[in-house]
Amino acid sequence: MTPTSLWERYCQSLCLCPEIGLSLDISRMNHDDGFLERMEPAMQKAYAEMAALEGGAQANQDEGRMVGHYWLRTPSLAPRDDIRREIEETLERILLFCHRIHSGGITSQNSGSFTRMLIIGIGGSALGPQFVADALSSPNDPLKPHFLDNTDPDGMDRVMAEIGDDLARTLVIVISKSGSTKETRNGMLEAMAAYRQRGLDFARHALAITGKDSQLDRLARDQGWLERFPMWDWVGGRTSVTSAVGLLPAALQGIDISALLQGAAACDALTRRTETSSNPAALMALMWHYAGNGRGERDLVMLPYRDRLLLFSRYLQQLLMESLGKELDREGRIVNQGIAVYGNKGSTDQHAYVQQLRDGLDNFFVTFIQVLRDRDASSLEVEEGVTSGDFLFGFLQGTRTALHDKGRQSLTISVERIDPFTIGALIALFERCVGLYASLININAYHQPGVEAGKKAAGAVIELQRELRDYLTAQGRAMTAGEIAAGLGRSERTEEIFAILRHLAANPERGVVVERTSAVEEWRFSMGT
Ligand SMILES: O=P(O)(O)OC[C@H]1O[C@H](O)[C@H](O)[C@@H](O)[C@@H]1O
Protein backbone atom coordinates (compact mmCIF):
# COMPACT_ATOMS: atom_id res chain seq x y z
CA MET A 1 0.00 0.00 0.00
CA THR A 2 1.35 3.45 -0.89
CA PRO A 3 1.86 6.00 1.89
CA THR A 4 -1.06 8.10 0.60
CA SER A 5 -3.50 5.24 0.59
CA LEU A 6 -2.29 4.23 4.05
CA TRP A 7 -3.09 7.72 5.28
CA GLU A 8 -6.53 7.45 3.66
CA ARG A 9 -7.10 4.08 5.26
CA TYR A 10 -6.04 5.56 8.61
CA CYS A 11 -8.44 8.51 8.27
CA GLN A 12 -11.32 6.30 7.17
CA SER A 13 -10.92 3.71 9.88
CA LEU A 14 -9.89 5.82 12.87
CA CYS A 15 -12.56 5.59 15.55
CA LEU A 16 -12.42 8.85 17.50
CA CYS A 17 -14.16 8.88 20.87
CA PRO A 18 -13.74 12.36 22.37
CA GLU A 19 -16.27 11.48 25.12
CA ILE A 20 -13.63 9.30 26.72
CA GLY A 21 -10.51 10.90 25.24
CA LEU A 22 -9.70 7.75 23.30
CA SER A 23 -9.23 6.69 19.72
CA LEU A 24 -8.81 3.31 18.07
CA ASP A 25 -6.83 2.87 14.88
CA ILE A 26 -7.44 -0.34 12.95
CA SER A 27 -5.65 0.72 9.77
CA ARG A 28 -2.69 -1.59 10.40
CA MET A 29 -4.84 -4.69 10.41
CA ASN A 30 -4.92 -6.55 7.11
CA HIS A 31 -8.69 -6.87 6.67
CA ASP A 32 -10.13 -6.00 3.29
CA ASP A 33 -12.72 -3.30 2.69
CA GLY A 34 -15.65 -5.69 2.71
CA PHE A 35 -14.82 -7.41 6.01
CA LEU A 36 -16.80 -5.14 8.31
CA GLU A 37 -19.81 -5.29 6.04
CA ARG A 38 -19.72 -9.07 5.88
CA MET A 39 -19.56 -9.26 9.65
CA GLU A 40 -22.32 -6.71 10.23
CA PRO A 41 -25.21 -9.20 10.66
CA ALA A 42 -23.18 -11.14 13.26
CA MET A 43 -22.28 -7.86 14.94
CA GLN A 44 -25.90 -6.77 15.12
CA LYS A 45 -26.75 -10.08 16.75
CA ALA A 46 -23.96 -9.47 19.27
CA TYR A 47 -25.40 -6.02 20.09
CA ALA A 48 -28.83 -7.56 20.63
CA GLU A 49 -27.38 -10.20 22.94
CA MET A 50 -25.47 -7.53 24.84
CA ALA A 51 -28.65 -5.49 25.23
CA ALA A 52 -30.44 -8.55 26.61
CA LEU A 53 -27.53 -9.18 28.98
CA GLU A 54 -27.64 -5.62 30.24
CA GLY A 55 -31.39 -5.93 30.59
CA GLY A 56 -30.96 -8.75 33.08
CA ALA A 57 -31.15 -11.90 30.93
CA GLN A 58 -29.43 -14.99 32.31
CA ALA A 59 -26.51 -14.47 29.97
CA ASN A 60 -24.41 -16.94 31.97
CA GLN A 61 -26.73 -19.78 31.11
CA ASP A 62 -24.62 -22.65 32.36
CA GLU A 63 -24.61 -21.18 35.85
CA GLY A 64 -28.10 -19.67 35.57
CA ARG A 65 -26.79 -16.21 36.42
CA MET A 66 -27.27 -12.67 35.24
CA VAL A 67 -24.18 -10.72 34.19
CA GLY A 68 -24.35 -7.30 35.73
CA HIS A 69 -20.96 -5.60 35.80
CA TYR A 70 -22.27 -2.79 33.58
CA TRP A 71 -24.88 -1.88 36.23
CA LEU A 72 -22.09 -1.18 38.70
CA ARG A 73 -21.31 2.11 37.00
CA THR A 74 -24.84 2.93 35.85
CA PRO A 75 -27.03 1.54 38.64
CA SER A 76 -30.17 2.96 37.03
CA LEU A 77 -29.76 0.23 34.39
CA ALA A 78 -30.12 -2.58 36.92
CA PRO A 79 -33.12 -4.72 36.07
CA ARG A 80 -34.42 -4.71 39.65
CA ASP A 81 -34.75 -2.01 42.27
CA ASP A 82 -33.16 -4.07 45.02
CA ILE A 83 -30.04 -4.55 42.85
CA ARG A 84 -29.84 -0.85 42.08
CA ARG A 85 -30.19 0.00 45.74
CA GLU A 86 -27.51 -2.48 46.79
CA ILE A 87 -25.05 -1.04 44.27
CA GLU A 88 -25.72 2.52 45.39
CA GLU A 89 -25.66 1.71 49.08
CA THR A 90 -22.41 -0.21 48.75
CA LEU A 91 -20.78 2.70 46.98
CA GLU A 92 -21.93 5.07 49.72
CA ARG A 93 -20.62 2.70 52.38
CA ILE A 94 -17.26 2.48 50.59
CA LEU A 95 -16.93 6.27 50.47
CA LEU A 96 -18.01 6.64 54.07
CA PHE A 97 -15.63 3.94 55.28
CA CYS A 98 -12.73 5.52 53.40
CA HIS A 99 -13.58 8.91 54.80
CA ARG A 100 -13.51 7.47 58.32
CA ILE A 101 -10.16 5.79 57.70
CA HIS A 102 -8.61 8.87 56.11
CA SER A 103 -9.96 11.29 58.69
CA GLY A 104 -8.85 9.14 61.63
CA GLY A 105 -12.44 8.27 62.55
CA ILE A 106 -11.36 4.64 62.52
CA THR A 107 -7.87 4.12 63.88
CA SER A 108 -5.71 1.07 64.33
CA GLN A 109 -5.62 -0.80 67.63
CA ASN A 110 -2.76 1.34 68.92
CA SER A 111 -4.71 4.51 67.97
CA GLY A 112 -2.48 5.43 65.04
CA SER A 113 -3.99 6.16 61.66
CA PHE A 114 -3.73 3.46 59.02
CA THR A 115 -0.86 4.00 56.59
CA ARG A 116 -0.78 0.75 54.63
CA MET A 117 -3.16 -1.88 53.41
CA LEU A 118 -2.60 -5.54 52.76
CA ILE A 119 -4.94 -6.85 50.11
CA ILE A 120 -5.35 -10.63 50.11
CA GLY A 121 -6.98 -12.20 47.07
CA ILE A 122 -6.24 -14.02 43.83
CA GLY A 123 -7.47 -14.02 40.21
CA GLY A 124 -10.29 -11.56 39.76
CA SER A 125 -9.99 -10.68 43.43
CA ALA A 126 -6.45 -9.35 42.93
CA LEU A 127 -5.63 -8.57 39.31
CA GLY A 128 -8.00 -5.61 38.94
CA PRO A 129 -7.04 -4.03 42.27
CA GLN A 130 -3.33 -4.55 41.46
CA PHE A 131 -3.68 -2.97 38.04
CA VAL A 132 -5.60 0.05 39.32
CA ALA A 133 -3.29 0.49 42.32
CA ASP A 134 -0.18 0.50 40.14
CA ALA A 135 -1.64 2.57 37.32
CA LEU A 136 -2.88 5.34 39.59
CA SER A 137 -0.44 5.39 42.48
CA SER A 138 1.09 8.63 43.68
CA PRO A 139 3.74 9.41 46.28
CA ASN A 140 0.99 10.99 48.41
CA ASP A 141 -1.24 7.93 48.65
CA PRO A 142 -2.75 7.92 52.14
CA LEU A 143 -2.53 4.12 52.30
CA LYS A 144 0.21 2.23 50.51
CA PRO A 145 -1.05 -1.04 49.00
CA HIS A 146 0.60 -4.45 49.38
CA PHE A 147 -0.75 -7.70 47.99
CA LEU A 148 -0.76 -11.36 48.95
CA ASP A 149 -1.97 -13.00 45.75
CA ASN A 150 -0.56 -16.48 46.12
CA THR A 151 0.08 -19.25 48.59
CA ASP A 152 3.85 -18.95 48.14
CA PRO A 153 5.34 -18.78 51.66
CA ASP A 154 8.48 -17.02 50.50
CA GLY A 155 6.41 -14.50 48.55
CA MET A 156 4.35 -13.82 51.65
CA ASP A 157 7.51 -13.37 53.75
CA ARG A 158 8.74 -10.77 51.32
CA VAL A 159 5.54 -8.76 51.54
CA MET A 160 5.38 -9.01 55.32
CA ALA A 161 9.01 -7.91 55.56
CA GLU A 162 8.22 -4.84 53.44
CA ILE A 163 5.42 -3.94 55.85
CA GLY A 164 7.64 -4.70 58.84
CA ASP A 165 6.90 -2.67 61.95
CA ASP A 166 4.06 -0.88 60.17
CA LEU A 167 1.86 -3.95 60.58
CA ALA A 168 0.09 -2.26 63.49
CA ARG A 169 -1.00 0.48 61.07
CA THR A 170 -1.91 -1.84 58.23
CA LEU A 171 -5.49 -2.47 57.20
CA VAL A 172 -6.11 -5.97 55.83
CA ILE A 173 -8.66 -6.44 53.06
CA VAL A 174 -9.51 -10.06 52.35
CA ILE A 175 -11.23 -10.40 48.98
CA SER A 176 -12.88 -13.55 47.73
CA LYS A 177 -16.18 -13.84 45.92
CA SER A 178 -16.62 -17.48 46.88
CA GLY A 179 -15.03 -16.94 50.27
CA SER A 180 -13.37 -20.33 50.07
CA THR A 181 -10.37 -19.96 47.76
CA LYS A 182 -7.46 -21.80 49.36
CA GLU A 183 -4.68 -19.40 48.35
CA THR A 184 -6.62 -16.50 49.84
CA ARG A 185 -7.52 -18.46 52.97
CA ASN A 186 -3.84 -19.33 53.46
CA GLY A 187 -2.75 -15.72 52.98
CA MET A 188 -5.34 -14.66 55.53
CA LEU A 189 -4.20 -17.28 58.04
CA GLU A 190 -0.58 -16.22 57.62
CA ALA A 191 -1.55 -12.58 58.08
CA MET A 192 -3.58 -13.48 61.18
CA ALA A 193 -0.53 -15.24 62.61
CA ALA A 194 1.65 -12.19 61.95
CA TYR A 195 -0.77 -9.93 63.82
CA ARG A 196 -1.02 -12.42 66.69
CA GLN A 197 2.75 -12.59 66.98
CA ARG A 198 2.84 -8.85 67.50
CA GLY A 199 0.07 -8.99 70.07
CA LEU A 200 -2.38 -7.30 67.71
CA ASP A 201 -6.05 -8.08 67.32
CA PHE A 202 -6.53 -9.03 63.67
CA ALA A 203 -10.26 -8.27 63.71
CA ARG A 204 -9.57 -4.62 64.47
CA HIS A 205 -7.51 -4.34 61.29
CA ALA A 206 -9.53 -6.46 58.90
CA LEU A 207 -12.35 -6.20 56.46
CA ALA A 208 -13.83 -8.64 53.96
CA ILE A 209 -15.23 -8.32 50.47
CA THR A 210 -17.11 -11.50 49.73
CA GLY A 211 -20.39 -13.19 48.84
CA LYS A 212 -23.12 -13.13 51.43
CA ASP A 213 -22.86 -16.02 53.90
CA SER A 214 -19.67 -17.38 52.37
CA GLN A 215 -17.14 -18.98 54.73
CA LEU A 216 -15.20 -15.72 54.74
CA ASP A 217 -18.33 -13.66 55.37
CA ARG A 218 -19.27 -15.79 58.36
CA LEU A 219 -15.75 -15.64 59.78
CA ALA A 220 -15.61 -11.86 59.45
CA ARG A 221 -19.04 -11.53 61.05
CA ASP A 222 -18.29 -13.92 63.91
CA GLN A 223 -14.94 -12.32 64.68
CA GLY A 224 -16.33 -8.79 64.45
CA TRP A 225 -14.08 -7.46 61.68
CA LEU A 226 -14.25 -3.74 60.94
CA GLU A 227 -16.50 -4.08 57.87
CA ARG A 228 -17.90 -6.49 55.30
CA PHE A 229 -18.66 -5.48 51.73
CA PRO A 230 -20.68 -7.60 49.32
CA MET A 231 -19.86 -9.47 46.13
CA TRP A 232 -22.87 -10.52 44.13
CA ASP A 233 -23.40 -13.65 42.08
CA TRP A 234 -24.21 -11.47 39.07
CA VAL A 235 -20.68 -10.04 39.01
CA GLY A 236 -17.94 -12.35 37.78
CA GLY A 237 -14.57 -12.20 39.53
CA ARG A 238 -12.74 -11.06 36.40
CA THR A 239 -15.24 -8.25 35.81
CA SER A 240 -15.43 -7.16 39.44
CA VAL A 241 -13.00 -4.27 39.41
CA THR A 242 -15.82 -1.70 39.38
CA SER A 243 -17.47 -3.40 42.37
CA ALA A 244 -16.20 -3.11 45.97
CA VAL A 245 -13.36 -5.44 44.90
CA GLY A 246 -11.62 -2.71 42.94
CA LEU A 247 -13.29 0.38 44.36
CA LEU A 248 -12.61 -0.07 48.04
CA PRO A 249 -8.82 -0.56 47.81
CA ALA A 250 -8.61 2.19 45.20
CA ALA A 251 -10.58 4.67 47.33
CA LEU A 252 -8.46 3.83 50.36
CA GLN A 253 -5.38 4.55 48.27
CA GLY A 254 -6.82 7.98 47.57
CA ILE A 255 -7.85 7.28 43.97
CA ASP A 256 -10.89 9.16 42.69
CA ILE A 257 -13.25 6.22 42.24
CA SER A 258 -16.11 8.44 41.11
CA ALA A 259 -14.00 9.48 38.13
CA LEU A 260 -13.09 5.85 37.47
CA LEU A 261 -16.78 4.89 37.47
CA GLN A 262 -17.60 7.87 35.25
CA GLY A 263 -14.96 6.79 32.74
CA ALA A 264 -16.36 3.27 32.69
CA ALA A 265 -19.94 4.53 32.39
CA ALA A 266 -19.01 6.90 29.55
CA CYS A 267 -17.26 4.08 27.71
CA ASP A 268 -20.24 1.79 28.32
CA ALA A 269 -22.54 4.41 26.82
CA LEU A 270 -20.56 4.75 23.64
CA THR A 271 -19.85 1.03 23.25
CA ARG A 272 -23.61 0.41 23.39
CA ARG A 273 -23.83 2.07 19.99
CA THR A 274 -25.03 -0.26 17.28
CA GLU A 275 -23.30 1.73 14.57
CA THR A 276 -20.16 -0.34 14.31
CA SER A 277 -17.87 2.30 12.81
CA SER A 278 -18.28 4.49 15.90
CA ASN A 279 -18.10 1.70 18.48
CA PRO A 280 -14.48 0.99 19.46
CA ALA A 281 -15.34 -2.19 21.41
CA ALA A 282 -17.16 -3.61 18.40
CA LEU A 283 -14.35 -2.70 16.02
CA MET A 284 -11.80 -4.25 18.32
CA ALA A 285 -13.89 -7.43 18.66
CA LEU A 286 -14.11 -7.63 14.88
CA MET A 287 -10.35 -7.19 14.58
CA TRP A 288 -9.79 -9.99 17.07
CA HIS A 289 -12.11 -12.07 14.94
CA TYR A 290 -10.33 -11.13 11.75
CA ALA A 291 -6.84 -11.65 13.16
CA GLY A 292 -7.52 -15.10 14.54
CA ASN A 293 -10.07 -16.28 11.98
CA GLY A 294 -12.66 -16.38 14.73
CA ARG A 295 -10.69 -19.24 16.24
CA GLY A 296 -8.03 -17.41 18.21
CA GLU A 297 -5.30 -18.37 15.76
CA ARG A 298 -3.30 -15.27 16.64
CA ASP A 299 -2.13 -14.16 20.07
CA LEU A 300 -2.89 -10.70 21.35
CA VAL A 301 0.32 -8.90 22.28
CA MET A 302 -0.44 -5.98 24.60
CA LEU A 303 2.10 -3.21 24.28
CA PRO A 304 1.20 -0.16 26.32
CA TYR A 305 3.89 2.51 26.07
CA ARG A 306 3.55 3.67 29.64
CA ASP A 307 5.00 2.12 32.79
CA ARG A 308 1.76 2.67 34.65
CA LEU A 309 0.00 0.25 32.31
CA LEU A 310 2.43 -2.60 32.91
CA LEU A 311 -0.13 -4.69 34.78
CA PHE A 312 -2.85 -4.17 32.20
CA SER A 313 -1.81 -7.21 30.18
CA ARG A 314 -1.81 -9.40 33.30
CA TYR A 315 -5.29 -8.12 34.11
CA LEU A 316 -6.41 -8.72 30.52
CA GLN A 317 -4.90 -12.18 30.51
CA GLN A 318 -7.55 -13.30 32.96
CA LEU A 319 -10.32 -11.20 31.42
CA LEU A 320 -9.74 -12.66 27.97
CA MET A 321 -8.37 -16.11 28.59
CA GLU A 322 -10.80 -17.11 31.33
CA SER A 323 -13.72 -15.63 29.40
CA LEU A 324 -12.86 -16.85 25.91
CA GLY A 325 -10.82 -19.99 26.55
CA LYS A 326 -13.67 -22.48 26.25
CA GLU A 327 -13.96 -26.09 25.15
CA LEU A 328 -17.62 -25.89 24.11
CA ASP A 329 -19.74 -23.36 22.30
CA ARG A 330 -23.20 -22.40 23.51
CA GLU A 331 -24.70 -25.38 21.71
CA GLY A 332 -22.31 -27.79 23.39
CA ARG A 333 -20.11 -28.41 20.34
CA ILE A 334 -16.38 -28.78 20.91
CA VAL A 335 -14.67 -25.62 19.66
CA ASN A 336 -11.61 -25.11 21.93
CA GLN A 337 -11.74 -21.34 21.68
CA GLY A 338 -9.54 -18.66 23.21
CA ILE A 339 -7.14 -15.81 22.57
CA ALA A 340 -3.73 -15.90 24.21
CA VAL A 341 -2.59 -12.60 25.73
CA TYR A 342 0.92 -11.54 26.63
CA GLY A 343 3.02 -8.41 26.77
CA ASN A 344 4.39 -5.98 29.32
CA LYS A 345 5.24 -2.49 28.16
CA GLY A 346 6.99 -0.56 25.47
CA SER A 347 9.60 0.36 24.73
CA THR A 348 11.05 -2.15 27.20
CA ASP A 349 9.63 -5.16 25.34
CA GLN A 350 11.31 -3.99 22.14
CA HIS A 351 14.53 -5.10 23.77
CA ALA A 352 13.10 -8.52 24.57
CA TYR A 353 10.77 -10.22 22.11
CA VAL A 354 9.90 -7.70 19.40
CA GLN A 355 12.65 -9.32 17.28
CA GLN A 356 10.43 -12.38 16.95
CA LEU A 357 7.36 -10.30 16.24
CA ARG A 358 9.03 -8.72 13.25
CA ASP A 359 11.05 -11.61 11.88
CA GLY A 360 9.72 -14.78 13.43
CA LEU A 361 6.39 -16.57 13.62
CA ASP A 362 3.50 -14.45 12.35
CA ASN A 363 1.03 -15.75 14.95
CA PHE A 364 0.00 -12.55 16.74
CA PHE A 365 -1.42 -9.08 16.45
CA VAL A 366 -0.25 -6.23 18.62
CA THR A 367 -2.41 -3.79 20.56
CA PHE A 368 -0.38 -0.66 21.13
CA ILE A 369 -1.54 1.81 23.74
CA GLN A 370 -0.26 5.31 23.28
CA VAL A 371 -0.65 7.91 26.02
CA LEU A 372 -0.48 11.39 24.52
CA ARG A 373 0.39 13.39 27.63
CA ASP A 374 3.96 12.52 28.59
CA ARG A 375 4.07 13.72 32.19
CA ASP A 376 2.49 16.40 34.36
CA ALA A 377 5.52 18.66 34.43
CA SER A 378 7.56 19.89 31.50
CA SER A 379 10.29 17.62 30.20
CA LEU A 380 14.03 17.77 30.01
CA GLU A 381 15.46 17.85 26.51
CA VAL A 382 17.62 14.76 26.26
CA GLU A 383 18.77 15.86 22.81
CA GLU A 384 18.22 19.23 21.24
CA GLY A 385 14.44 19.74 20.97
CA VAL A 386 13.74 16.17 21.93
CA THR A 387 12.45 14.73 25.21
CA SER A 388 12.32 11.21 26.70
CA GLY A 389 8.62 11.24 25.93
CA ASP A 390 9.38 11.95 22.26
CA PHE A 391 11.56 8.88 22.25
CA LEU A 392 8.83 6.76 23.84
CA PHE A 393 6.42 8.00 21.18
CA GLY A 394 9.01 7.45 18.46
CA PHE A 395 9.65 3.89 19.56
CA LEU A 396 5.94 3.10 19.44
CA GLN A 397 5.54 4.60 15.98
CA GLY A 398 8.73 2.98 14.81
CA THR A 399 7.76 -0.49 15.98
CA ARG A 400 4.28 -0.12 14.51
CA THR A 401 5.79 0.81 11.14
CA ALA A 402 8.50 -1.85 11.28
CA LEU A 403 5.85 -4.50 11.95
CA HIS A 404 3.57 -3.20 9.24
CA ASP A 405 6.45 -3.26 6.73
CA LYS A 406 6.61 -7.00 7.30
CA GLY A 407 2.83 -7.45 7.06
CA ARG A 408 2.54 -7.86 10.82
CA GLN A 409 -0.74 -6.50 12.17
CA SER A 410 -1.48 -4.06 14.95
CA LEU A 411 -4.21 -2.01 16.56
CA THR A 412 -3.43 1.28 18.26
CA ILE A 413 -5.42 2.72 21.12
CA SER A 414 -4.56 6.32 21.95
CA VAL A 415 -5.62 7.99 25.18
CA GLU A 416 -5.02 11.53 26.36
CA ARG A 417 -3.57 10.71 29.75
CA ILE A 418 -3.56 8.14 32.51
CA ASP A 419 -6.06 9.16 35.15
CA PRO A 420 -8.92 7.42 36.95
CA PHE A 421 -11.41 8.33 34.21
CA THR A 422 -9.24 6.81 31.48
CA ILE A 423 -8.50 3.69 33.47
CA GLY A 424 -12.23 3.21 33.98
CA ALA A 425 -12.81 3.68 30.26
CA LEU A 426 -10.07 1.21 29.28
CA ILE A 427 -11.45 -1.44 31.63
CA ALA A 428 -14.96 -0.97 30.26
CA LEU A 429 -13.70 -1.02 26.67
CA PHE A 430 -12.11 -4.45 27.03
CA GLU A 431 -14.98 -5.86 29.09
CA ARG A 432 -17.41 -4.88 26.35
CA CYS A 433 -15.12 -6.14 23.64
CA VAL A 434 -14.81 -9.54 25.30
CA GLY A 435 -18.60 -9.77 25.59
CA LEU A 436 -19.17 -8.85 21.95
CA TYR A 437 -16.42 -11.16 20.70
CA ALA A 438 -17.87 -14.02 22.75
CA SER A 439 -21.17 -13.51 20.95
CA LEU A 440 -19.42 -13.49 17.58
CA ILE A 441 -17.85 -16.87 18.32
CA ASN A 442 -20.92 -18.18 20.16
CA ILE A 443 -19.45 -19.04 23.53
CA ASN A 444 -20.39 -18.31 27.15
CA ALA A 445 -17.81 -15.78 28.33
CA TYR A 446 -19.03 -15.75 31.90
CA HIS A 447 -18.24 -19.14 33.37
CA GLN A 448 -14.94 -20.97 33.94
CA PRO A 449 -15.60 -24.71 34.06
CA GLY A 450 -11.97 -25.54 33.31
CA VAL A 451 -10.59 -23.98 36.48
CA GLU A 452 -12.18 -26.54 38.79
CA ALA A 453 -10.16 -29.51 37.52
CA GLY A 454 -6.85 -28.11 38.76
CA LYS A 455 -8.34 -27.16 42.14
CA LYS A 456 -9.78 -30.65 42.63
CA ALA A 457 -6.51 -32.30 41.64
CA ALA A 458 -4.64 -30.06 44.12
CA GLY A 459 -7.07 -31.09 46.84
CA ALA A 460 -6.35 -34.74 46.06
CA VAL A 461 -2.59 -34.10 46.36
CA ILE A 462 -3.02 -32.55 49.81
CA GLU A 463 -5.16 -35.52 50.88
CA LEU A 464 -2.54 -37.96 49.63
CA GLN A 465 0.16 -36.06 51.53
CA ARG A 466 -1.77 -36.53 54.77
CA GLU A 467 -2.12 -40.25 54.12
CA LEU A 468 1.57 -40.56 53.28
CA ARG A 469 2.79 -38.94 56.44
CA ASP A 470 0.56 -41.16 58.58
CA TYR A 471 1.69 -44.22 56.68
CA LEU A 472 5.39 -43.43 56.91
CA THR A 473 5.08 -42.67 60.62
CA ALA A 474 3.34 -46.00 61.20
CA GLN A 475 5.92 -47.90 59.12
CA GLY A 476 8.84 -46.38 61.02
CA ARG A 477 11.38 -47.33 58.32
CA ALA A 478 12.87 -45.99 55.10
CA MET A 479 10.97 -46.94 51.96
CA THR A 480 11.03 -46.14 48.26
CA ALA A 481 8.15 -44.29 46.59
CA GLY A 482 7.21 -47.53 44.84
CA GLU A 483 7.07 -49.49 48.11
CA ILE A 484 5.01 -46.81 49.79
CA ALA A 485 2.61 -46.62 46.83
CA ALA A 486 2.21 -50.40 46.82
CA GLY A 487 1.74 -50.41 50.59
CA LEU A 488 -1.03 -47.83 50.26
CA GLY A 489 -2.58 -49.68 47.32
CA ARG A 490 -1.93 -46.65 45.15
CA SER A 491 0.67 -47.80 42.68
CA GLU A 492 -0.92 -45.68 39.96
CA ARG A 493 0.09 -42.60 41.96
CA THR A 494 3.73 -43.52 42.54
CA GLU A 495 5.07 -40.48 40.72
CA GLU A 496 2.85 -38.16 42.76
CA ILE A 497 3.94 -39.88 45.95
CA PHE A 498 7.57 -39.40 44.97
CA ALA A 499 6.97 -35.71 44.19
CA ILE A 500 5.20 -35.09 47.51
CA LEU A 501 7.96 -36.77 49.53
CA ARG A 502 10.68 -34.99 47.62
CA HIS A 503 9.02 -31.67 48.39
CA LEU A 504 8.62 -32.52 52.07
CA ALA A 505 12.22 -33.73 52.31
CA ALA A 506 13.47 -30.44 50.83
CA ASN A 507 11.92 -28.67 53.82
CA PRO A 508 13.79 -30.25 56.77
CA GLU A 509 11.36 -28.96 59.38
CA ARG A 510 8.61 -31.11 57.83
CA GLY A 511 10.18 -34.26 59.26
CA VAL A 512 10.69 -36.34 56.10
CA VAL A 513 14.21 -37.62 55.48
CA VAL A 514 15.51 -38.94 52.16
CA GLU A 515 18.44 -41.21 51.32
CA ARG A 516 19.35 -40.46 47.68
CA THR A 517 21.01 -42.55 45.00
CA SER A 518 21.45 -41.77 41.31
CA ALA A 519 18.18 -43.56 40.46
CA VAL A 520 15.05 -41.87 41.80
CA GLU A 521 13.21 -45.16 42.11
CA GLU A 522 15.75 -46.12 44.77
CA TRP A 523 15.37 -43.00 46.91
CA ARG A 524 14.28 -44.08 50.36
CA PHE A 525 12.04 -41.87 52.49
CA SER A 526 11.32 -42.07 56.20
CA MET A 527 9.92 -39.87 58.95
CA GLY A 528 12.88 -38.45 60.84
CA THR A 529 13.04 -38.89 64.56
O1 LIG B 1 -12.83 -14.42 44.38
P2 LIG B 1 -12.58 -15.85 44.57
O3 LIG B 1 -13.87 -16.62 44.79
O4 LIG B 1 -11.61 -16.11 45.67
O5 LIG B 1 -11.99 -16.44 43.25
C6 LIG B 1 -10.74 -16.08 42.75
C7 LIG B 1 -10.56 -16.68 41.38
O8 LIG B 1 -10.78 -18.07 41.53
C9 LIG B 1 -10.81 -18.87 40.36
O10 LIG B 1 -9.55 -19.10 39.88
C11 LIG B 1 -11.70 -18.33 39.29
O12 LIG B 1 -11.49 -19.03 38.10
C13 LIG B 1 -11.43 -16.86 39.08
O14 LIG B 1 -12.37 -16.36 38.16
C15 LIG B 1 -11.54 -16.13 40.37
O16 LIG B 1 -11.32 -14.77 40.15
* Residue range 115-151, pLDDT digits in tens: 999 999 999 999 999 999 999 999 999 999 999 999 9
154 domain-assigned: yes
Residues 423 and 455 in one domain: no
Using the atom order of ligand 1, give the atom closest to the CA of residue 245. 1
Q: Please state the ipTM of this predicted complex.
A: 0.99
CATH of the domain at 458: 1.10.10.10
Residue 119 β-bridge partners: 147, 173
Residues 251 and 270 in one domain: no
For residue 24, give the 3-state DSSP assignment.
Answer: strand
Banded model confidence at residue 452, pLDDT cuts 50, 70, 90: confident
**Residue to probe by mutation, ligand 1, list 131, 147, 451, most atoms within 8 Å of CB:** 451
Residues 160 and 282 in one domain: no
Residues 272 and 304 in one domain: yes
d(CA 128, CA 108): 26
If one counts the domains in the chain, the total is 3
Sign of CA dihedral 285, 291, 295, 298: negative
d(CA 36, CA 477): 71
Residue nearest to atom 7 of ligand 1 (CA): 123
User: Could you tell me which residues come within 8 angstroms of residue 108 by beta carbon, excluding any fewer than 6 positions away?
Assistant: 114, 168, 169, 170, 171, 204, 205
177: left (phi over 0), alpha (psi -120 to 50) or beta: alpha
pLDDT of 402 over the 80 cut: yes
Residues with CB under 6 A from ligand 1: 122-125, 176-178, 181, 184, 237-238, 322, 448, 451
Residue nearest to atom 16 of ligand 1 (CA): 124
Please report the pLDDT score of residue 111 as a whole number: 79
For residue 524, give the 3-state DSSP assignment.
Answer: strand
Residues 301 and 418 in one domain: yes
> Which amino acid is residue 253, in one-letter code?
Q
Sign of CA dihedral 316, 436, 239, 257: positive
155 domain-assigned: yes
Residues 242 and 264 in one domain: no
Banded model confidence at residue 4, pLDDT cuts 50, 70, 90: confident
Using the atom order of ligand 1, give the atom closest to the CA of residue 175. 1
**Residue ranges making up the domain that contains 462:** 450-527
Beta-carbon count within 10 A of 263 CB: 28
Question: Among 447, 470, 499, where does a domain finish?
Answer: 447
Residues 441 and 454 in one domain: no
Residues 251 and 284 in one domain: no
Query: Which candidate, 125, 249, 101, 250, places its Cα nearest to that of 187?
Result: 125
Per the CB < 8 A criterion, the answer to whether 151 and 183 are in contact is yes
Residues 373 and 385 in one domain: yes
At 26, give phi and psi (nearest 5°).
-110, 15
For 480-501, what is the mean pLDDT?
Answer: 97
Beta-carbon count within 10 A of 412 CB: 22
**Residue to probe by mutation, ligand 1, list 131, 178, 320, 444, most atoms within 8 Å of CB:** 178
Residues 396 and 494 in one domain: no
CATH of the domain at 348: 3.40.50.10490
Residue 147 β-bridge partners: 119
Per the CB < 8 A criterion, the answer to whether 368 and 411 are in contact is yes
Span 286-318, pLDDT tens digits: 999 999 999 999 999 999 999 999 999 999 999
Q: Which long-range contacts (CB under 8 A, 24 or more apart) does 101-104 make?
A: 101/142, 101/143, 101/171, 101/252, 102/142, 102/252, 102/254
pLDDT of 1 over the 80 cut: no
d(CA 513, CA 525): 6
Q: How far is the CA of 122 from the centre of ligand 1 (A)?
A: 6
Span 183-220, pLDDT tens digits: 999 999 999 999 999 999 999 999 999 999 999 999 99
Q: How far is the CA of 471 from the centre of ligand 1 (A)?
A: 34
Span 326-382, pLDDT tens digits: 999 999 999 999 999 999 999 999 999 999 999 999 999 999 999 999 999 999 999
Q: How far is the CA of 313 from the centre of ligand 1 (A)?
A: 18
d(CA 224, CA 212): 15
Q: How far is the CA of 133 from the centre of ligand 1 (A)?
A: 19
Q: How far is the CA of 135 from the centre of ligand 1 (A)?
A: 22
d(CA 120, CA 100): 21
pLDDT of 529 over the 80 cut: no
Please report the pLDDT score of residue 484 as a whole number: 97
360 domain-assigned: yes
Residues 148 and 216 in one domain: yes
Banded model confidence at residue 459, pLDDT cuts 50, 70, 90: very high
Please report the pLDDT score of residue 453 as a whole number: 86
Question: Among 393, 420, 447, where does a domain finish?
Answer: 447
1 domain-assigned: no
User: Is 351 one of the annotated active-site residues of the chain?
Assistant: yes
Residue nearest to atom 12 of ligand 1 (CA): 451
User: Is 322 one of the annotated active-site residues of the chain?
Assistant: yes
Question: Among 421, 447, 473, where does a domain finish?
Answer: 447
> Which amino acid is residue 324, in one-letter code?
L
268 domain-assigned: yes
d(CA 67, CA 330): 16
For 24-37, what is the mean pLDDT?
Answer: 97
Residues 146 and 207 in one domain: yes
303 domain-assigned: yes
Please report the pLDDT score of residue 3 as a whole number: 74
For 25-46, what is the mean pLDDT?
Answer: 97
- What's the whole-model pTM score? 0.97
For 89-117, what is the mean pLDDT?
Answer: 95
158 domain-assigned: yes
Beta-carbon count within 10 A of 12 CB: 11
pLDDT of 15 over the 80 cut: yes
pLDDT of 475 over the 80 cut: yes
pLDDT of 435 over the 80 cut: yes
Q: How far is the CA of 242 from the centre of ligand 1 (A)?
A: 16
Please report the pLDDT score of residue 218 as a whole number: 98
Using the atom order of ligand 1, give the atom closest to the CA of residue 210. 1
For residue 230, give the 3-state DSSP assignment.
Answer: strand
